[in-house]
Amino acid sequence: MKRTSLFFTALLAGSSLATMAQTQLRNGDPKLSEQWTPEPRIVTPGKTSTDAPADAIILFNGKDASAFRAKDGGAVKWKIEDGALVVAGGTGEIYTKDGFGDCQLHIEWRTPAEVKGDGQGRGNSGIFFMSRYELQVLDSYNNRTYSNGQAGSIYKQLPPMVNASRPPGEWQTYDVIFIAPQFYEDGSVKSQARITVFHNGVLVQNNATLAGGSQYIGLAVYEKHSSKEPIILQDHGNPTAFRNIWIRPL
Ligand code: MG
């Protein structure tokens, strides 16, 4: 028998074995296809789907911003007003004290009710996963800007699938699943970062692949970093507000 026909015979034998196993399963005990272990652990959900579940790490609860620090390591200089953490323009971005890699993040944000400026100058902030990968925060309600720079975009990379923005002055939600990139020893990329984003409950990024860290000028590029890095909230000079921020490391 030639090599190729040997190969195909083996392939056929393999597939008929698989078919036999399938037939046996279908005619046999339904318990054979039940998986009982491991048992998913119980997590008590919040009263609404925006409330933190029992196993979440609370990053901001409306009163206490101590999970964040300023760039220099000091206390956050943003204002806490009516349960919201409000960007104090010019005081700088803020960092979570803890580092995070793969995670589920819930965060609520509100751009100023009084509309000032346009394009990128309107309610601009951002959430930088691992201090590098920016999920844009912007007033994108009747405010055209470049598509890969509007709310729900991965800045200068991935436009949102739709524009699910609420009007300025209203609270909006992001629910995000972020999967960290992985690197080889030599710094080359083993696997790229991925992100899924719901904006006000609407899917805007569907397991999208990131091309690298966000850049203002030029193309996104990966630079090796550790497996856990702080999340940054951006100070872009606009008094954008945040509340109810919680995270579940995955
Ligand atoms: Mg921004």
DSSP bridge pairs for 136: 126
> Do 51 and 80 meet the contact criterion of CB atoms below 8 Å apart?
no
Ligand 1: distance of its center to the CA of 236 in Å? 7
pLDDT at 68 (0 to 100): 98
Ligand 1: distance of its center to the CA of 99 in Å? 20
pLDDT at 20 (0 to 100): 62
| CA-to-CA dists, residue 191 to 60, 188, 208, angstroms | 31, 9, 13
Ligand 1: distance of its center to the CA of 125 in Å? 4
- Separation of alpha carbons 87 and 80, rounded Å: 9
Q: What is the gyration radius of the CA atoms in the chain, in angstroms?
A: 23
Domain boundaries, the chain: 3-33, 57-249
Ligand 1: distance of its center to the CA of 144 in Å? 15
Give SS3 for 93: coil
Q: Please list, in sequence order, all residues whose beta carbon lies within 8 angstroms of the beta carbon of residue 149, skipping any fewer than 6 positions away.
A: 120, 136, 138, 155, 156
- Fold annotation for 57-249: Jelly Rolls (2.60.120)
Ligand 1: distance of its center to the CA of 241 in Å? 13
Ligand 1: distance of its center to the CA of 121 in Å? 9
Ligand 1: distance of its center to the CA of 62 in Å? 22
pLDDT, tens digit only, all 250 positions of the chain: 445 445 444 544 555 666 666 666 567 888 888 889 988 887 787 788 899 999 999 999 999 999 999 999 999 999 999 999 999 999 999 999 999 999 999 999 999 999 988 899 999 999 999 999 999 999 999 999 999 999 999 999 999 999 999 999 999 999 999 999 999 999 999 999 999 999 999 999 999 999 999 888 989 999 999 999 999 999 999 999 999 999 999 9
> Do 68 and 232 meet the contact criterion of CB atoms below 8 Å apart?
no
Q: Please list, in sequence order, all residues whose beta carbon lies within 8 angstroms of the beta carbon of residue 34, skipping any fewer than 6 positions away.
A: none
- Going by the DSSP 8-state scheme, the letter that residue 154 receives in this structure is B
Ligand 1: distance of its center to the CA of 136 in Å? 5
pTM of the model: 0.87
pLDDT at 141 (0 to 100): 95
Reported as a single tens digit per residue, the pLDDT across 135-148 is 999 999 999 999 99
Reported as a single tens digit per residue, the pLDDT across 1-40 is 445 445 444 544 555 666 666 666 567 888 888 889 988 8
DSSP string, 218-246: S--B-----S-B--EE---SS--EEEEEE
Ligand 1: distance of its center to the CA of 96 in Å? 17
**What does the block give as tokens for 43?**
């997590």
pLDDT at 39 (0 to 100): 86
pLDDT at 4 (0 to 100): 47
pLDDT at 19 (0 to 100): 66
pLDDT at 1 (0 to 100): 43
- Separation of alpha carbons 176 and 201, rounded Å: 10
Ligand 1: distance of its center to the CA of 124 in Å? 5
Ligand 1: distance of its center to the CA of 166 in Å? 17
